[in-house]
Amino acid sequence: MSTAAILKKNSKLFLPVLSMSIFLSIWQVLHWIIGGEFLPSPYQVYLEAMRMFSIKIGGNSVWMHIYYSLRRVILAYLLGAATGLPLGMYMGWNRTFDKVVKPVFEVLRPIPPIAWIPIAILWFGIGEGPKIFICYVGAFVIFVLNSYTGMRYTDPLLIAAARTYGATRRQQLFNVAIPASMPSVFAGVQNALSMSWMCVLAAELVGAREGVGYLIIQGMDMYKPPMIMVGMIIIGIIGASLAVILRRFERVVCPWRRDLT
């Protein structure tokens, strides 16, 4: 076997390593060019990470900060799914209900969830409330939109067929329309999670005493770029892992979607 063939065969193993090393070397070179304080080298960031994981920041260990952020996201996400999915589906199913809810929803929809932060703080104080609320808004809108779209674009032929075979309206909804809308719903499931993850960050940046957003704001206040970067890496890793976990879950729940990788 030639070298090229070996490389090709092991590309799954080889490419990530290659890409990481390219990335790290570019980073290192940039560090040499820009220098010092501003852009710490990967090694400095590594040292900072070791330091941060061994001490308490703002009274909590890094693991606790991660736990706080995750708890907020997951709570808000589940709440968003529990309310957004039924609402979106019913809006897609029932024309009258759609007409009733649509105007209010359409006025609120274009407002980015992050713009809710100030009013959420007025409403819920500065505790867990506003953070969960912001993440909830972010997830909720995406859940509604995707389940609505999924429902509206259900092939009318399927519904007509069910009706021809004498299915009641209820059966048409639960046995035909909802399963048919699942692919679109699951597209939303993924987006809603990354949206909530982004929202929790924003909420924690604006005002919090714990969470990963607090970590990077703390780094900024102490003028420590390495600390910010460690925080950003943690955020990136958690965001990516959440996406991977969800994709696994999606493959279990929606086994007919084989195009998912």
Partner 1 sequence: MENVCKLPLIPREPTPYITHLKAAAKDNTISIISFLAFLIAWELVCRLGIIGPYQLVPPSQLVSTFIMKLTQANPDGGTLFAHTKASLIVALTGFGSAVLIGVPLGLFMGWYKPVDIMVTPIFDAVRPIPPIAWIPLAIIWLGIGLPAKAFIIWLAAFVPCVINSYTGIKLTNPVLTRVAEIYGASRWEAFYKVGVPSAIPMVFTGLKLSLNASWTTLVAAELLAASEGLGYLIQMGRRLSMPDIIIVGMLTIGFTGAMMSWGLNLIEARFASSKRVNL
Task: Give the residue carrying structure tokens 């990530």.
Answer: 16
- Contact call for residues 55 and 144 (beta carbons, < 8 A): no
Nearer to partner 1, 118 or 179 (CB): 118
Per-residue burial over 166-193, b if 16 or more Cβ lie within 10 Å, else e, is ebeeeebbeebbbebbbebbbbbbbbbb
Site for partner 1 in 23-82 (CB under 8 A): 23, 26, 38
Q: Which of 260, 87, 103 is nearest to 187 (CA)?
A: 260
Task: Give the residue carrying structure tokens 């309206």.
Answer: 169
Instruction: Return d(Cα 159, Cα 224) in angstroms, integer.
Output: 60
Q: How far is the CB of 85 from partner 1 (least distance, A)?
A: 22
Segment contacting partner 1 by CB under 8 A, of 78-86, 174-182, 212-220, 250-258: 212-220
Q: How far is the CB of 88 from partner 1 (least distance, A)?
A: 17
At position 21, the amino acid (one-letter code) is S
Out of 20, 50, 245, 253, the only residue in the binding site for partner 1 (CB under 8 A) is 20
Q: Which of 48, 78, 52 is nearest to 64 (CA)?
A: 52
Q: Which of 204, 198, 197, 58 is nearest to 120 (CA)?
A: 204
Out of 73, 178, 228, 230, the only residue in the binding site for partner 1 (CB under 8 A) is 228
Q: How far is the CB of 162 from partner 1 (least distance, A)?
A: 17
Q: How far is the CB of 157 from partner 1 (least distance, A)?
A: 16
Report DSSP state, residue 174. Answer: I
Site for partner 1 in 81-140 (CB under 8 A): 96, 99-104, 107-119, 121-123
Q: How far is the CB of 168 from partner 1 (least distance, A)?
A: 21
* 209 φ, ψ (degrees, to nearest 5): -115, 0
Nearer to partner 1, 6 or 119 (CB): 119
Nearer to partner 1, 93 or 116 (CB): 116
Per-residue burial over 109-145, b if 16 or more Cβ lie within 10 Å, else e, is eeeebbebbeebbeeeeeebebbbbbbbbbbbbbbbb
Q: How far is the CB of 179 from partner 1 (least distance, A)?
A: 26
Nearer to partner 1, 119 or 161 (CB): 119
Site for partner 1 in 138-177 (CB under 8 A): none
At position 181, the amino acid (one-letter code) is S
Size of the site for partner 1 (CB under 8 A): 55
Determine if 8 is a binding residue for partner 1 (CB under 8 A). no
Residue numbers at the binding site for partner 1 (CB under 8 A):
18-20, 22-23, 26, 38, 96, 99-104, 107-119, 121-123, 194, 197-198, 201-202, 205-206, 213, 216-217, 219-220, 223, 225, 228-229, 231-233, 235-237, 239-240, 243
